Structure 1
């Protein structure tokens, strides 16, 4: 009887350990699948951007640069730079004129402020909406997020980089810095590009997205 009880207890312990291991494995599998999805999205972004730059109809590259163009230089994809941010709308914000690389001014509105954590620190950035652009059907929910960071002028373009976002349904939004790209004026001076407001400077290195263009 005593031996039977010991065997029963051992069986319960073994089954419990196996069950805990199984659930642990499931959790790891879910994380792995999520990371694989993120990686696939990053690689697809890079592929589409390179295709755009090769297309003479839409490429910002001058003919002499596009002729031998093989692809942009990217940081290695890193899912640590895919962050979930608080999306804090600013409905009372008034339109303002954002300076550009030329004499042109771009009318923008601060649509929201995003707050997120990166490498243990909290950051905030302003997200903008162009009142004229949203009148176009495919841009009705488009948002513009320009930023600078400590890689500018070294690994990346000195004027900062851009991110394209869409208005989320709720109060959170995913920001993937692996999809950060250079303004067109980084490749061709004929373009007029909005300058990144000083409030959108990140006091850290964003080692993700497109690197500086080497002509």
Structure 2
């Protein structure tokens, strides 16, 4: 039998390994996110702008297990965008979870337009605002993306470390959906992307 002190050291080592593994996962995700700005012809940013992207340090506290409640046969409705145009969505369901012991709810939406595209027909969209919006993060809110395949029964993992800014945070001329009031969280989500440090492009 190993002495207690060696068991304690082993547990610390396993914990550190888990943290390092998660940090690598988030770094890989953010590297892919940055690369997409270069490869996407509709991107508001160029390679030299990427140094102005800013993020919170990875924090696994904001990777939460949620209970998914299907939305049933939701009627299409319109969400206003930053340009004044409207975009049509349905309510796909709700996510219920806890952060800091407090119950939270976010609605998951599905784009009517993307449902017609075979590549994105299973795409799910979560726009949200929180107590950091307009302070350390973009005032227009941030987004999270999911796929239907991410849902396992009534459970789904939501990782706010992967929350990202809409294109409107970087440049004018885009139509970015504004998070509905039902997706305004009263808590501070200090995870994911922060305010862009560069100048907003006209």
Output the TM-score relative to the length of structure 1: 0.80
1:22 CA drift (Å): 5.8
Task: State the alpha-carbon separation in 1 of the partners of residues 189 and 106 from structure 2.
Answer: 14
Q: Does 1:157 align with 2:138?
A: yes
1:27 CA drift (Å): 10
Q: CA contact under 8 A between 1:143 and 1:165: conserved in structure 2?
A: yes
Q: Does 1:177 align with 2:163?
A: no
Q: Give the structure with higher Rg (CA).
A: 1
Gaps of 5+ in 2: none
Corresponding position of 2:182? 199
Richer in helix (by share): 1
Corresponding position of 1:147? 128
Gaps of 5+ in 1: 1-14
Structure with the larger RCO, 1 or 2 (CA within 8 Å, 6+ apart): 2
1:44 CA drift (Å): 1.0
Corresponding position of 2:172? 189
Q: CA contact under 8 A between 1:179 and 1:210: conserved in structure 2?
A: yes
Residues 154 and 117 of structure 1, relative CA distance in 2, 3 Å threshold: same
1:59 CA drift (Å): 2.3
Other structure's SS at 2:92 match: strand
- Out of 107, 112, 116, the position equivalent to 1:135 is 116
Q: What RMSD in Å do the two structures reach over aligned CA positions?
A: 2.5
Task: State the alpha-carbon separation in 1 of the partners of residues 153 and 88 from structure 2.
Answer: 26
Task: State the alpha-carbon separation in 2 of the partners of residues 48 and 189 from structure 1.
Answer: 24
1:84-137 deviation per Cα after TM superposition (whole angstroms, max 9, x unaligned): 100111113211011111232111011010001101111001000012202222
Q: Does 1:210 align with 2:193?
A: yes
* Count of equivalent residues: 195
1:189 CA drift (Å): 1.0
- Out of 29, 32, 41, the position equivalent to 1:57 is 41
Corresponding position of 1:115? 96
